[in-house]
Amino acid sequence: MYERLEEITLAEQEVAERYDHTVNVCMAAGCMSSQSGAIKEAIDKEVEANGLERWCRVRGVGCMGLCAHGPLVAVDNGKPAETMYQYVTPEDAPAIVGSLDTAPVERLRCPTDVPFFQRQHKIVLENSGLIDPERIEEYIAADGYTALIKAITEMSPAEVIDEIITSGLRGRGGGGYPTGLKWTTVAKSDGETKYVICNADEGDPGAFMDRSVLESDPHRILEGMAIAGYAIGASQGYIYVRGEYPLAVARLKTAIRQARRVNMLGSGIAGTPFAFHIDIRLGAGAFVCGEETALIASIEGRRGQPRPRPPYPAEYGLWGQPTLINNVETLASVAPIIRNGGAWYAGMGTAKSKGTKVFALAGSINNTGLIEVPMGTSLREIIYEIGGGVSGGGKCKAIQTGGPSGGCIPADFLDTPVDYESLSALGSIMGSGGMIVMDETASMVDVARFFMEFCMTESCGRCVPCRVGTVHMHNLLDKFSRKEATPHDLVLLEKLCDMVRNTSLCGLGQTAPNPVMSTLRYFRHEYMAAITEEAADLFVLDPALSVSRNGATQRAPKLEVAS
Amino acid sequence: MKRPFKTRVKTLTIDGMAVGAREDETILELAQANGIFIPTLCHLEGVHDIGACRLCLVEIKGTSKLLPACMTYAEEGMEVITDSERLLTYRRQVLDLLFSERNHVCAVCVSNGHCELQWLAEKLGISHVGVPYLYPQLAVDASHSFYVLDHNRCILCTRCVRVCDEIEGAHTWDVMGRGVECRVISDLNQPWGTADSCTRCGKCVQVCPTGALFSKGKAVAEMTKKREFLPYLQLMREGRK
């Protein structure tokens, strides 16, 4: 079956060799929103006008990472180091095409010998920005689908799972649950029908890793899902992708169609009895649908609300069947692991967190964009070297990781290696990979308020602590933000944090207090400063009432329940 | 090897009391059968549990997470604690939040004296509400010929939704919106009186724990709810299977 892939690869190389120049235009969401579509058209026209069609090809490719400097255009002249252009406009097309055989256009050049490009280690993003996401041939030419064929023709399902266990891969959606363990439990669950679900309901503010992978390299997800399906014994997969990502959906649809055509999906894949089908399900804008049980409810056509676990989806998932749910980035790591072996992957990272992690840098940072680094890289390296430092010459005050479930890490801890354990020791979480850098002007109370507002409006409303508790916490934070708080408000806020964290039904509620608790831990003085002087002297009702309240608890019940 | 039992039996302790259980029994069922009180609001015998009110949370030795008794099944050697000081505090806070969420004014409520929320507050010793009231502006739907829905008193336990769907089979009720904006709605968010799917059976009214759903013509404290039909219906249906 490798021969078929080989044929496609050779044909693809032959095409590539016919051209002296390749112009790659970024066609991912970031650059598309700043007109890269028009740029590609302009370059196309310019090539045509100069009669260069036979020597120069123009391709749309995926995300190149440095979104802050977009739209990005890369010119490959067959030399090892390609030329990259930044802040390109459609008017620059003549200059770019005119300089193909001469020296590059200096005023547009984006240096690629900087740490942003040099310090990254790309596995999940290995094809991003290099291949056309709308052509399966290019994915295949980049070793695509060899891992799937290797898995189904040379390995048993148990061997595939072993390889994942060896790799030490952990869930990239935020929880960090060992992927191999999850696969084992689903594989061992009783059930005639099993399902694989790809969770592409990325919704954290400031996170766009999954979006970029889906838009830049959709086949990688399909391959990962098919391998997972083979390993656990599933023949049906669903990609649950949020409706706000129309480009990702369109590219996934194209990719599924193409993969079926070359028989990498469908029945009898690569001449084996293994069958695997993938369908897309669209989310309708609810953040909570990223929670696995709510996601399942949504796919089943019900209201997207979580249910208590256990039972976990591994036992009782979609339509009551054992279901494997993995995040986009987790599934994107599967194919390289099978291709190169689990030990290769486990060679990167720290003792407990292996491999690489994609981060979306946002906020007050020079190089806003996507990066992929080995686990254990320090925050300082990420922010100051790869990220190019704080924008506007400011000083870094804190870094928010993990979105609304995460926390703020103060600049004192910049030397912390980024892995699951050390971030949670600091009161934050790895999360899905959003990293928001804040400078000295940022108010931590406002940050906490922003995330609480997010949780409040995104609560599904099923359980009381999250539905009502988040409203009260938000109102209290609002008081702090207006500098009208009282000492009692701080007591109440902390009480509510503890209660909502410990009694909420799902992860959304349980982690909603995290941004408040972490800012209270490191920036308590900002909360104290928001307590007004008059308020500090006020009579505080709560302690005063504690005596009578304790008395009241000992009273015998008088009323009988209506029945 | 296939295990030789169909349903296994387990022994565990609840608040130190040793109890025997089938593996398909929940902690809540076991506690109730053994005379141990666990407060509940969304739980309703006869319809499926959703674990939403968080009042029945219990501690289980060996796990740091609190688990809802209504949806946690018996396991061998489990040590369940239902009445620790921590749990009591959380339960009072849940009631606090419920009282603050809408406009629960017992003095003018048809269910005064027959309300599960009121009874629980009394039982758990709530003397005042520890969080500010939200005072939302909410409507009353009196368009139905027999019954009234007063959103001011709704605690979103969704008993009405489940009983209408699972027992009556009409699914007139559902929930719309997110977070604190959630509302119980009939059919496609239209006045109850115009909801074609409603069979006027009144099951929703009878299972509502508060005065959110009540019969027309009832004055303050006059609305008592009759739930005998539920276990009866359940028994009859199970018998038929």
A165 inside domain: yes
B54, A557: Cβ pair inside 8 Å? no
B71, A464: Cβ pair inside 8 Å? no
Predicted model pTM: 0.91
Q: Nearest CA to CA, how far is A558 from chain B (Å)?
A: 8
One-letter amino acid at A300 equals E
Domain CATH number, residue B50:
3.10.20.740
What are the Cα distances from residue B166, in Å, to A297, A308, B73, B182, B237?
17, 20, 22, 21, 12
A459, B179: Cβ pair inside 8 Å? yes
Examine the domain organization and report whether A463 and A392 are in the same domain. Answer: no
Q: If you measure CA to CA, which chain B residue comes closest to A551?
A: B125
Instruction: Please tell me the distance from the alpha carbon of residue B149 to that of residue A393, in angstroms, as a whole number.
Output: 59
Instruction: Please tell me the distance from the alpha carbon of residue A148 to that of residue A269, in angstroms, as a whole number.
Output: 9
State how many domains chain A has. Answer: 4
pLDDT band at B229 (very low <50, low <70, confident <90, very high): confident
- B85 to chain A, any CB pair closer than 8 A? The answer is no
Length of chain B: 241
Examine the domain organization and report whether A190 and A278 are in the same domain. Answer: yes
What are the Cα distances from residue A403, in Å, to A166, A359, A407, A408, B21?
29, 12, 7, 9, 43
Examine the domain organization and report whether B102 and B166 are in the same domain. Answer: yes
- B111 to chain A, any CB pair closer than 8 A? The answer is yes
Examine the domain organization and report whether A89 and A163 are in the same domain. Answer: no
Residue numbers in B near A293 (CB within 8 A): none
Q: Nearest CA to CA, how far is A287 from chain B (Å)?
A: 11
A306-365: pLDDT as tens digits: 999 889 999 999 999 999 999 999 999 999 999 999 999 999 999 999 999 999 999 999
Domain that holds residue A384: 356-442
> What angle do helix axes A157-167 and A179-188 make, rounded to 10 degrees?
160
pLDDT band at A441 (very low <50, low <70, confident <90, very high): very high
Examine the domain organization and report whether B115 and B212 are in the same domain. Answer: yes
One-letter amino acid at A119 equals R
A9 inside domain: no
Examine the domain organization and report whether A303 and A162 are in the same domain. Answer: yes
> Among partner residues B94, B156, B174, which is closest to A465 by beta-carbon distance?
B94
Examine the domain organization and report whether A436 and A451 are in the same domain. Answer: no
pLDDT at res. A548: 65
Instruction: Please tell me the distance from the alpha carbon of residue A451 to that of residue B184, in angstroms, as a whole number.
Output: 27
Domain CATH number, residue A494:
1.20.1440.230
As a whole-number percent, the residues of chain A with pLDDT over 90 amount to 74
Examine the domain organization and report whether B147 and B181 are in the same domain. Answer: yes
B122, A559: Cβ pair inside 8 Å? yes
Number of Cβ pairs closer than 8 Å across A and B?
129
pLDDT at res. B191: 96
Residue numbers in B near A542 (CB within 8 A): 130
Residue numbers in B near A459 (CB within 8 A): 178-180
B195 inside domain: yes
Instruction: Please tell me the distance from the alpha carbon of residue A461 to that of residue B156, in angstroms, as a whole number.
Output: 8
A170 inside domain: yes
pLDDT band at A98 (very low <50, low <70, confident <90, very high): confident
Q: If you measure CA to CA, which chain A residue comes closest to B71?
A: A308
A502, B66: Cβ pair inside 8 Å? yes
Q: If you measure CA to CA, which chain A residue comes closest to B133?
A: A472
- A190 to chain B, any CB pair closer than 8 A? The answer is no
Examine the domain organization and report whether B29 and B137 are in the same domain. Answer: no
A123 inside domain: no
* Cβ neighbours, 10 Å, residue A82: 15
- B1 to chain A, any CB pair closer than 8 A? The answer is no
A265-315: pLDDT as tens digits: 999 998 899 999 999 999 998 999 999 999 999 999 999 999 998 899 999
Examine the domain organization and report whether B66 and B41 are in the same domain. Answer: yes
Q: If you measure CA to CA, which chain B residue comes closest to A506?
A: B52
Specify whether the CB–CB gap between B154 and B212 falls below 8 A.
yes
Q: If you measure CA to CA, which chain A residue comes closest to B123?
A: A557
Instruction: Please tell me the distance from the alpha carbon of residue A233 to that of residue A220, in angstroms, as a whole number.
Output: 20
State how many domains chain B has. Answer: 2
Residue in this structure with the two tokens 């984006």, named with its chain if needed: A110
- B203 to chain A, any CB pair closer than 8 A? The answer is no
Residue in this structure with the two tokens 């209408």, named with its chain if needed: B164
Specify whether the CB–CB gap between B140 and B148 falls below 8 A.
yes
pLDDT band at A100 (very low <50, low <70, confident <90, very high): confident
Examine the domain organization and report whether B191 and B116 are in the same domain. Answer: yes
Q: If you measure CA to CA, which chain A residue comes closest to B125?
A: A553
B104-137: pLDDT as tens digits: 999 999 999 999 999 999 999 998 899 999 999 9
Q: Nearest CA to CA, how far is A460 from chain B (Å)?
A: 5
Domain CATH number, residue A210:
3.40.50.11540
- A559 to chain B, any CB pair closer than 8 A? The answer is yes
Examine the domain organization and report whether B79 and B193 are in the same domain. Answer: no
As a whole-number percent, the residues of chain B with pLDDT over 70 amount to 98
pLDDT at res. A558: 57
Instruction: Please tell me the distance from the alpha carbon of residue A6 to that of residue A219, in angstroms, as a whole number.
Output: 17
Examine the domain organization and report whether A329 and A377 are in the same domain. Answer: no
pLDDT at res. A532: 80
- B112 to chain A, any CB pair closer than 8 A? The answer is no
- A475 to chain B, any CB pair closer than 8 A? The answer is yes
Q: Which of B50, B83, B116 is the last residue of a domain?
A: B83
Q: Which two tokens stand for residue A109?
A: 């050049």
> Among partner residues A465, A492, A557, which is closest to B54 by beta-carbon distance?
A465
| DSSP 3-state of B91 | helix
Test the B interface: residue of A462, A493, A553 with most B CBs within 10 Å: A462
A30-62: pLDDT as tens digits: 899 999 999 999 999 999 998 888 889 999 999
A503, B179: Cβ pair inside 8 Å? no
Examine the domain organization and report whether B108 and B201 are in the same domain. Answer: yes
The complex's ipTM works out to: 0.94
pLDDT at res. A353: 93
Question: Is the peptide bond preceding residue A311 cis, with omega within 30 degrees of 0?
Answer: yes
- B90 to chain A, any CB pair closer than 8 A? The answer is yes
B143 inside domain: yes
pLDDT at res. A538: 63
pLDDT at res. A4: 85
Give yes or no for residue A495 having a pLDDT over 60: yes
B231 inside domain: yes
A503, B180: Cβ pair inside 8 Å? no
Instruction: Give chain B's radius of gyration (CA, Å).
Output: 19
Highest mean pLDDT among A61-70, A89-98, A509-518: A509-518
Examine the domain organization and report whether A69 and A36 are in the same domain. Answer: yes
Instruction: Please tell me the distance from the alpha carbon of residue B110 to that of residue A55, in angstroms, as a whole number.
Output: 84
Specify whether the CB–CB gap between A562 and B225 falls below 8 A.
yes
B77 inside domain: yes
- B75 to chain A, any CB pair closer than 8 A? The answer is no
Please give the mean pLDDT across all residues of chain A: 91
pLDDT at res. A489: 92
Examine the domain organization and report whether A322 and A249 are in the same domain. Answer: yes
B117 inside domain: yes
B54, A467: Cβ pair inside 8 Å? no
Give yes or no for residue A541 having a pLDDT over 70: no
Examine the domain organization and report whether A83 and A148 are in the same domain. Answer: no
Q: Average pLDDT for residues A60-85, to the nearest whole number?
A: 85
pLDDT at res. B238: 75
Q: Which of B61, B83, B105 is the last residue of a domain?
A: B83
Read off the DSSP letter of residue B20. Answer: E
| DSSP 3-state of A390 | strand
Segment holding A341, helix H or strand E: none
A225 inside domain: yes
Q: Return the ∠ at Cα A26 (arms to A24 and A30), rounded to 5°.
A: 170
Q: Which of A442, A460, A478 is the last residue of a domain?
A: A442
Read off the DSSP letter of residue B99. Answer: H
Examine the domain organization and report whether B100 and B71 are in the same domain. Answer: no
Q: Average pLDDT for residues A240-247, to the nearest whole number?
A: 94
What are the Cα distances from residue B128, in Å, to A112, A208, A545, A559, B210?
65, 46, 9, 17, 19
Examine the domain organization and report whether B211 and B164 are in the same domain. Answer: yes
Test the B interface: residue of A457, A559, A560 with most B CBs within 10 Å: A559
> Among partner residues B118, B156, B181, which is closest to A559 by beta-carbon distance?
B118
CA A158 to chain centre: 28
> What region, left, alpha or beta, does residue A165 occupy, with left being phi > 0 and alpha being psi -120 to 50 degrees?
alpha
Examine the domain organization and report whether A302 and A410 are in the same domain. Answer: no
How would you list the strands of the sheet with B140-141, edge to edge?
Answer: B140-141, B147-150, B213-215
pLDDT at res. B7: 78
What are the Cα distances from residue A378, in Å, to A95, A385, A402?
40, 10, 16
Give yes or no for residue A535 having a pLDDT over 70: no
B20 inside domain: yes
Q: Which two tokens stand for residue A318?
A: 């979609």
A562, B119: Cβ pair inside 8 Å? yes
pLDDT at res. A53: 86
pLDDT at res. A82: 77
Residue in this structure with the two tokens 């929103």, named with its chain if needed: A33
Segment holding A56, helix H or strand E: strand A56-61
Q: Which of A398, A427, A442 is the last residue of a domain?
A: A442
pLDDT band at A559 (very low <50, low <70, confident <90, very high): low
Question: Is the peptide bond preceding residue A133 cis, with omega within 30 degrees of 0?
Answer: no
Give yes or no for residue A557 having a pLDDT over 90: no
In A119-276, at which residue ranges do the beta strands (DSSP E only) sit?
Answer: 195-200, 236-242
- A452 to chain B, any CB pair closer than 8 A? The answer is no
- B229 to chain A, any CB pair closer than 8 A? The answer is no
Examine the domain organization and report whether A524 and A537 are in the same domain. Answer: yes
Q: Which of A292, A321, A346 is the last residue of a domain?
A: A346
Residue numbers in B near A545 (CB within 8 A): 127-128
Of A368-382, A548-562, B172-186, the range with the lowest mean pLDDT is A548-562
Examine the domain organization and report whether B135 and B195 are in the same domain. Answer: yes
Q: What is the dihedral of CA A422, A428, A430, A432, to 10 degrees?
A: 180
Examine the domain organization and report whether A451 and A419 are in the same domain. Answer: no
pLDDT at res. A561: 55
Q: Nearest CA to CA, how far is B188 from chain A (Å)?
A: 14
A179-236: pLDDT as tens digits: 999 999 999 998 889 999 999 999 888 888 999 999 999 999 999 999 999 999 999 9
Q: Nearest CA to CA, how far is B240 from chain A (Å)?
A: 25
Specify whether the CB–CB gap between B209 and B159 falls below 8 A.
yes
Give yes or no for residue A539 having a pLDDT over 70: no
Examine the domain organization and report whether B233 and B202 are in the same domain. Answer: yes
| DSSP 3-state of B10 | strand
Q: Nearest CA to CA, how far is B20 from chain A (Å)?
A: 22
DSSP-assigned letters across all residues of A224-249:
HHHHHHHHHT--EEEEEEETT-HHHH
Q: If you measure CA to CA, which chain A residue comes closest to B57?
A: A503
Domain CATH number, residue B112:
3.30.70.20
pLDDT at res. A562: 54
Residue numbers in A near B50 (CB within 8 A): 307, 462
pLDDT at res. A469: 96
CA atoms within 13 A on the CB side of B44: 28
Q: Which of B83, B110, B132 is the last residue of a domain?
A: B83
Q: Nearest CA to CA, how far is A247 from chain B (Å)?
A: 27
Q: Nearest CA to CA, how far is A498 from chain B (Å)?
A: 9
Q: If you measure CA to CA, which chain A residue comes closest to B113?
A: A559
Domain that holds residue B30: 9-83
pLDDT at res. A191: 87
Q: Nearest CA to CA, how far is A500 from chain B (Å)?
A: 9
Q: Nearest CA to CA, how far is B194 from chain A (Å)?
A: 23
Residue numbers in B near A457 (CB within 8 A): 178-179
Domain CATH number, residue A413:
3.10.20.600
Residue numbers in A near B122 (CB within 8 A): 557-559
Domain CATH number, residue A27:
3.40.30.10
